[in-house]
Structure formats: structure tokens, C-alpha cells
Amino acid sequence: MTRKPTLAVVGATGAVGAVMLQILSQHADVWGEIRLLASPRSAGRKLVVRGAQTEVLALSEEALAGVDVAMFDVPDDVAAHWAPIAAAQGAVVVDNSAAFRMDPDVPLVVPEVNPHAVRVRPRSIVASPNCTTLSMIVAVGALHAEFGLAGLVVSSYQAVSGEGRAGVDTLRTQLSLVAGTELGTNPGDVRRAVGDVTGPFAAPIALNVVPWAGSLAEDGWSSEELKVRAESRKILDRPGLPVSVTCVRVPVLTTHSLAVHARFENEVSVERAHEILATAPGVVLFDNPAAGEFPTPADVVGTDPTWVGRVRRSLDDPTALELFVCGDNLRKGAALNTAQIAELVAAEFGTA
């Protein structure tokens, strides 16, 4: 006998939550009841999912009762507290925070790369990677399967929605403050124009790029840079993989881009890389500069796949490829991957 499992969306009212509700309405309907949960202050709001107005409930033990799969998109500390409670009540938790990603008893899953990992979840928790890792790992994973990855050097071009609604609002406000001015070619111009509208960023983000994301970790690294390294290693099951990352925020609303220098164990060719990327699930190869074809955030935003272009073989190293990849940080980078993991779990119900 099969039944459709009950899903809880924890953090339904956030930026990622909004995208999650869209995705739940667009995807094949594997879910029975969908319960929307959020902080007490959002309780009572009504959101549309699968075409129906649905009231948001306050997150509580009672509200989690009977839930089969709980998708969490909440701050790390909230996830750390509530995910084990949901798991103890019988739910499989799919968590999009950083709270459990490096826990050896929690698999870190990208369905196109390591779907098998979802089945081994001793804590009943499955983690979804950071949006920056997710924006490249599907493409890199496909190439790794063929050539054997030997090292990554990554530079990011990260959208402001990685900082949630506050990031988006800050960029929009700053843009309105600098638009139409002649500002921007003398030192301090942009800082003066944006004044104290800095939001979550360490420097102005309009007409600027900011080489910082996350919090300060050891030796000058940002937490975001260390996440990309640690998560890539875990997802690809290559614990010693050399990974160097520089994370930079850019004035783009949504969709992260990454310039990736990938070294492999074997000689590579652009032709073979094209074949792999053209057929890899979850990847769109968009690589014809002669025709002006390469991915940019403006074209990729709102779509599901990882887009790959600018594929080149290093002129000095026949084992290295250069790529430029774009992925919507709210979709594949967050809500979509979480939903895909949840659907892998739901499939277990279908065969119970």
C-alpha cells in the first residue's frame, strides 16, 4: 500500500520559502498534506501553494506531528534546535541551513551527483548544500565522473538575494540612490550616495563588488569560502581535494555565477567536456561565444539548471578546464535542491 506523505515547509515565509511554494506548485504532486510553518510572528498569514490559500502555522512540536518529510529553510540556530525535534517525531528532515552539513551522520545531497547518499541518514536528517556550492557542483560533478577531479580554484560572483530579502532591498535602494547621478568615478562617491543604507553588506553593493560573504573564519578566510571547499569535498566524496575559493558579492539580484578552474587526474578535451555537459542531468551547456552565447545571471534567473559556458582547456595544462557557470541561488541553490531531496525521500513512501 502506498500513500502520499505529509510535507512540512518550515520557514515558508522567507525568500527561499516563496520560491519553494512556487516549485511545489510546479512539480509533479508527490505530497499529501502540505503544512506551512514559520516563526510565531508569521503565523496566521496565508500563502498560496498548489493553488490553495494555506494558513501559516507557528512552528511547534504539535505542528510537526504526523509530518513525514520536513523541509527546513531557517537560520542555522533554529535548524539546530528544531530539526532533531522533527526527526524525533518521525519526520525525515531536509535541511537547507549550515547546521548539519558537515555532520558525519548527515548526508549532504545533490540529487544529480550523489543521490545514493540520501538513504544513509542515521539522524533522519539530510542536508542540502550552500547556494554557492550548488551553483557549480552539478556541472563539476559530471566532469569529475569522467575525468577525476584533482583540484578546484573558484571565484564567485554572488547575487544579493544570497543575503535574503534584506540583500535585495539594499541593492534596490542603493541603485535608486545612485541612478541618474554622475557619481562613481571619484573615491567615496558611492559611499556618500548610499549613506547608511548598507544593509547586510560590508561595503556599498551598487556600482561595486564586495569580496566578502559570510563571517570571518580562521586565517582570513570567510565562512562562505570554507563552506564551498568542505561541501564540495563531501558531496564528491574526495576528502583531500584541494579547493581554493574567493567569494565576491556583485550587484545582481538573483543567480550566482562562478569562474571555475578545474584540474583533473586525466587529460581533458573541450569536445569531450561539451559532450558530458550537454547530456548531464540538470545542466544546460550554453557555449558558443561566436554567437554571443554564454550564461549570464539575467538569462539564467528563474530557471532550474546549472548553465555552463566559456569551456576552455588551459593553454598550459592539458588536465585543466576553465568554466563559467551560473545557477539561480534561490532555485537550484536552495529551494529546488531541497525539494529534489525531499522527492527522493518521498519516493521511498511510494514503494513502501
Instruction: Report the distance separating Cα 166 and Cα 290, nearest Å.
Output: 38
Interface of this chain with a copy of itself, residues 209 to 228, rule: CB under 8 A: 209-212, 216, 219-222
Q: Using the rule CB under 8 A, is 186 a contact of a copy of itself? A: yes
- Give the length of the chain: 352
For residue 261, indicate whether it is catalytic: no
- The residue annotated as part of the active site, out of 27, 116, 144, 256, is 256
Q: Which is nearer to a copy of itself, 39 or 208 (CB)?
A: 208
Neighbours of 326 (CB within 10 A): 31
Instruction: Report the distance separating Cα 40 and Cα 98, nearest Å.
Output: 22
Interface of this chain with a copy of itself, residues 230 to 269, rule: CB under 8 A: 240-244, 246, 248, 250-254, 257, 259, 261
Amino acid at 55: E
Asked if 108 contacts 99 with a C-beta cutoff of 8 angstroms, the reply is no
Sign of CA dihedral 107, 108, 114, 118: positive
> Would the annotation count 162 as a binding residue?
yes
> Would the annotation count 89 as a binding residue?
no
- The residue annotated as part of the active site, out of 27, 81, 116, 131, is 131
Q: Using the rule CB under 8 A, is 149 a contact of a copy of itself? A: no
Q: What is the DSSP string of 310-348?
A: EEEE-SS-TTEEEEEEEE-TTIIIIIHHHHHHHHHHHHH
Q: Using the rule CB under 8 A, is 196 a contact of a copy of itself? A: no
Q: Which is nearer to a copy of itself, 64 or 205 (CB)?
A: 205
Q: Using the rule CB under 8 A, is 189 a contact of a copy of itself? A: yes
For residue 326, indicate whether it is catalytic: no
Least gap, CB of 65 to a copy of itself (angstroms): 35
> Would the annotation count 13 as a binding residue?
yes
Q: Using the rule CB under 8 A, is 150 a contact of a copy of itself? A: no
Q: Using the rule CB under 8 A, is 1 a contact of a copy of itself? A: no
CB under 8 Å to 182, separation ≥6 — which residues? none
CB under 8 Å to 270, separation ≥6 — which residues? 311, 312, 313, 321
Interface of this chain with a copy of itself, residues 100 to 119, rule: CB under 8 A: none
Least gap, CB of 167 to a copy of itself (angstroms): 12
| Catalytic residue set | 131, 256
